[in-house]
Amino acid sequence: AQKITQTQPGMFVQEKEAVTLDCTYDTSDPSYGLFWYKQPSSGEMIFLIYQGSYDQQNATEGRYSLNFQKARKSANLVISASQLGDSAMYFCAMRSLGGGRRALTFGSGTRLQVQP
């Protein structure tokens, strides 16, 4: 079974500062993928970044980077230069990359509020 833990129910950050959202995971699968999604107040789920367990380098997508520490089973999202539009709910998720299973397991989310 897979489990995602997001221990920060809410976070505040000042505009233009960087913020780290924590995510730890547990799985017995040898190969897996880790995802971050953003859910603004309008409700849609927006893909942000992906990291494969086999990837040697940490993933980056614009202002988003993933601090992947495999031994610690953590996949923290770093948002640099926060903007007011970054205020949203952020979900960490994972899925197995083998065995035909495709279901994403989500964490409980972190609500980020960017302050001017």
User: Cα separation of 87 and 96, whole Å?
Assistant: 29
Task: Give residues 37-76 in contact with other proteins (rule: CB under 8 A).
Answer: 37, 42-47, 50, 52, 54
12 near other proteins (CB under 8 A): no
Query: At a CB cut-off of 8 Å and minimum separation 6, what does 30 contact?
Result: 53, 98
Query: At a CB cut-off of 8 Å and minimum separation 6, what does 110 contact?
Result: 6, 8, 9, 10, 11, 21, 22, 89, 90
Q: Six-digit token pair at 59?
A: 């993933």
Q: Which of 17, 101, 113, 115 binds other proteins (CB under 8 A)?
A: 101
Nearer to other proteins, 65 or 105 (CB): 105
105 near other proteins (CB under 8 A): yes
Please give the size of the binding site for other proteins, defined by CB under 8 A: 28
Q: Which residues bind other proteins (CB under 8 A)?
A: 31, 33, 35, 37, 42-47, 50, 52, 54, 91, 93, 95, 97-98, 100-109
